[in-house]
Chain A
Amino acid sequence: MNQSTHDLPGRIVHDEIVPALAPWLHRVLKGQTLRIVDLEGNQAVDFLIYAAGDDAERYSAQDTIAAQGNIFLREGAVLLSNEGRPMMTITGTSVAYHDTIGGACSCESNTLRYGYHTKAQHACVDNFLDANVRVGRGKRDMVSNINFFMNVPVEADGALGIVDGISAPGLTVDVRAEMDVDVVVSNCPQINNPCNGFDPTPVRMIVVEG
């Protein structure tokens, strides 16, 4: 995995593989950088951010889109809170862009998108809840999210959808914390659309500082 670690912008303080389908919660301190490695390619990483000091302040896709004037998250994108403050910055990525309009899959929305036979399948909202409920957050904390390594174009007539990904094995995204934040991830378990290449896989989380 050297190809995804040789240019890390600092000393490793945390390094963990998140299994396929699993949630992950981690505090990233101001100035630290989280590198997410898409180990096997085209694995959507659903991503929420809460301010560590006041979790009513959280990532807002709409504020971020409005401020940067673009729906795609590219290198340099500043991830804003619902109060309009920078929470994290995408300081580098080997993927052209990432999604923040597609939301997170849920058991309930899966019934609309694919049919009732999918109700029992695991979903990102259940991962987010699993991680959040254990630390005192709940359903009202389910807000807009980022989907790293996921591709959601909007066409001229408004046509929008999760289509084949543009990531590949070993590609990465680096996000630097601009304040102390709690990051909650769902390593997306969706198997009914191409967001995970129909085959959810592990991702690697590396936190560096200094």
Chain B
Amino acid sequence: MTTNTADPHGAQAHARAMAGTRVEAMPVVPAAADDAPGPVVWEETVAAGGYASRRIARGARLRLIDLHGDACASMLLFNAENPLERLNVADTLKVQWNGYLGAGKLLLSDMGRVMMSILEDGARTHDAFCGASNEASNARSYGDGKNYGAHPNARDRFMLGVAKHGLGRKDVHPCINWFKGVKVEDDGSTTPRIGPFAPGRELLLRAEMELIVVIANCPHVLDQRSDFTVMPLRATAWRGDVTPEDDALRNATPEGLRAFLNTEDYYLR
């Protein structure tokens, strides 16, 4: 292609000629996916080392796919109407009397409400203990951890993701890492389960509130591989019904039921 970018018209033609380029990590706009069972509202493949943030509606389903078996989807959640309410990892574990996340578990806010439900889990290796990498940990592992470099860290990815919703450093709260697991041994020690795993493992979540979802896709902080190793992550969301009163997951435990009741109470208006 001949390029003439010496004047605005040439530069314009040059720029416009790029449109339609396809790469693996990119959004589909307007959102569409031929394997989603409902009206798609978000379709994006998050780059290795990349991040995404998105508002999704109460009732929406969010499917995450570890496309190549080596994604690490670190996640923050905020109440979109009042982001001062956010995921509370400690409460999520403590209230459900268990340290491991999987199908049937709930993600709870710091206001005693259910923010998301885990409908299906084809991965079974997740981590609520070890959190996000930071610039210092990536610098130790890979030589640097800057957002502008080749080894961005999850915490600073979160910082950019939350900033686009008006939030700041103080709002980067403890996170959940999907697809990379950590097991706690009897003496309290943590055993990482980093993989790589089989490609295509899926996780299906249901939004129980109006949410801002922030995802960073960077190597797990306990990943011992010397190279910055992470693969793209696919996120697909589609519209869905708000959880009905007879939902089995809603009624599975007394603590979880009260979390649903608190969320339902919040939306009485």
Chain A contact residues, CB within 8 Å of chain B: 55-56, 60-63, 65-67, 69-72, 82-85, 97, 101-104, 106, 108-113, 115-116, 125, 138-144, 152, 154, 156-162
Contact = CB atoms under 8 A, between A and B. Distances in A.
A117 to B, nearest CB: 12
B124 to A, nearest CB: 12
Contacts of B259: 112
A159 B112 contact: no
Contact of A144 (B111, B136, B174): B174
14 contacts: A62-B130, A66-B130, A70-B188, A71-B188, A71-B190, A83-B136, A84-B134, A84-B135, A102-B94, A103-B90, A109-B88, A109-B108, A112-B255, A139-B84
Contact of B90 (A72, A82, A104, A154): A104
Contacts of B137: 63, 66-67, 84
Contacts of B144: none
B184 interface: yes
A145 to B, nearest CB: 8
Most chain A Cβ neighbours within 10 Å, of B91, B186, B187, B259: B91
B129 A71 contact: yes
B224 to A, nearest CB: 11
Nearest to B140: A84
B98 A159 contact: yes
A60 B90 contact: no
B172 A111 contact: no
A152 B129 CA distance: 13
Nearest to A57: B169
A140 B93 contact: no
A81 B168 CA distance: 16
B192 to A, nearest CB: 9
A11 B183 CA distance: 43
Contacts of A140: 84, 170-171
Nearest to A60: B131
Interface residues of B, number: 46
A160 B189 contact: no
A82 B172 contact: yes
B6 to A, nearest CB: 46
Given A61-B174, A69-B190, A112-B259, 15 more contacts: A61-B131, A62-B129, A63-B221, A65-B130, A67-B137, A71-B190, A82-B172, A106-B110, A108-B112, A109-B108, A112-B112, A143-B174, A154-B99, A158-B98, A159-B97
B252 to A, nearest CB: 13
B173 interface: yes
Contacts of B84: 138-140
Contact of B186 (A83, A108, A156, A161): A156
Given A84-B135, A154-B99, A70 B187 contact: yes
Contact of B95 (A72, A104, A113, A152): A113
B132 interface: yes
Q: Which of A71, A110, A139 has the most CB of B within 10 A?
A: A71
B90 A102 contact: yes
Contacts of B215: none
A103 B99 CA distance: 13
Nearest to A145: B90
A158 B91 CA distance: 15
B155 interface: yes
Contacts of A154: 99, 184, 188
Given A160-B99, A161-B97, A112 B258 contact: yes
Contact of B93 (A66, A101, A143): A101
